[in-house]
Amino acid sequence: MKLFADTANLQEIKAALADGFIAGITTNPSLLAKEPKADYLGHMRKIVGLIRESGREVHLSIEVIAREPAEMAAQADRFINELAYGNLAIKIPISQHGRSFTGVVRELTSRGIAVNCTACMTPMQGLAAAAAGAKYVSLFYNRIRDGLLERHSDEREALLAAKTVEEADFDPAHVIEETAHLLAMSYPDAEIIAGSIRSVLDVKQAGLAGAHIVTLSPKLFPAIVGHYKTDEAVDSFLADIGRWLD
C-alpha cells in the first residue's frame, strides 16, 4: 500500500516530500479553496515545482473544475500540456446528478492520459470507472460511511429499494474489498485509492481491505510515525549510551 498526501497547501507538500514516505500527492477543488486565492493552474505549477525540487518523481493527481464533458476534456489537455509533468493523473468525477462522465474517462485514456476517476462510493461505480479505462479509482472512505448516518435518507432508501446498493455498501472496508475483487478479475491494472480519510485507523483498515493507495491529510503523518513506547525506547537508548560515554 502506498501513501499519498491529500493537500493543496504548499508548505504541507514541501514538508511531506521531505518526510520521504509519501509516494504521491492528490488535490481537489475544496482543498485548493482553503488556500489564498490564486490562478488554479498557477498553483498547480507551484506544486510541480516543489516536486521537482525534491528530486522525486512522485504521483500527482489534479481535478478538473469544468462542469461539461467537452470542457473537462479540454481542461485536462491544458493541464497535461502546460504542467508537462510525466507522473500526472487527471481527476474526473464518476458522475453528477445522474450524468455519467465515464465517456470523458474513456476519451482521455484512449489518448494515453492517466485518469483518476474520483468520488466513487460503490463497487459498481469503481467497476464502471475501471471499465472506462481509469488507471485509478478513488473511493471516498468516510463519505461512504456517512451515507448511512447523514441526511438524504430518502435517496438512500430509494437506492436500497431499487437494489442499486445493499446495506453493506455503506461499510467502506466492505466496499473496498468488493471493488478490489471485481477489479482483480477484469481490470487488474487499475489501482484503488482510498480517500476521505479521518484517522490513522482508517488508513490501516483501508489498506487491509485492499486499497492500493491511501491518500490522507499531512496532519495525520505525526500520528502514523509516533508512539509513546517508541519515545520511551529511544530515550532509553540515548540515556544508556550517554552514561557509557561519560
pLDDT single digits (tens) 131-144: 999 999 999 999 99
Cβ proximity of 134 and 104 under 8 Å: no
Task: Respond yes or no: is residue 91 known to be catalytic.
Answer: yes
pLDDT score recorded for residue 231: 97
How far CA 140 is from CA of 14, 31, 82, in Å, comes to 25, 15, 29
> Which band of pLDDT confidence, cut at 50, 70 and 90, is reported for residue 153?
confident
Would the pLDDT of 150 be above 80? no
Would the pLDDT of 166 be above 80? yes
> Which band of pLDDT confidence, cut at 50, 70 and 90, is reported for residue 234?
very high
What does pLDDT average to over the chain? 96
Whichever domain contains 13, its CATH number is 3.20.20.70
Mean pLDDT value across residues 52-72: 97
pLDDT score recorded for residue 97: 95
How far CA 185 is from CA of 140, 164, 172, in Å, comes to 22, 21, 20
- Among candidate residues 2, 91, 135, 204, the one labeled active-site is 91
Would the pLDDT of 165 be above 80? yes
Could you tell me which of 9, 58, 65, 59 has the C-alpha nearest to residue 40?
65
> Which band of pLDDT confidence, cut at 50, 70 and 90, is reported for residue 44?
very high
Rounded Cα distance between 7 and 13, Å, is 7
> Which band of pLDDT confidence, cut at 50, 70 and 90, is reported for residue 38?
confident
pLDDT score recorded for residue 202: 98
Q: Give the domain extent around 214.
A: 2-245
> Which band of pLDDT confidence, cut at 50, 70 and 90, is reported for residue 148?
confident
Mean pLDDT value across residues 191-196: 98
> Which band of pLDDT confidence, cut at 50, 70 and 90, is reported for residue 94?
very high
pLDDT score recorded for residue 72: 98
Query: What H or E segment, with its residue span, contains residue 138?
Result: strand 136-140
pLDDT score recorded for residue 235: 97
Domain count, the chain: 1
Would the pLDDT of 151 be above 90? no
> Which band of pLDDT confidence, cut at 50, 70 and 90, is reported for residue 105?
very high
pLDDT > 70: what percent of the chain? 99
The gap between the terminal CA atoms of the chain, to the nearest Å, is: 44
Mean pLDDT value across residues 190-201: 98
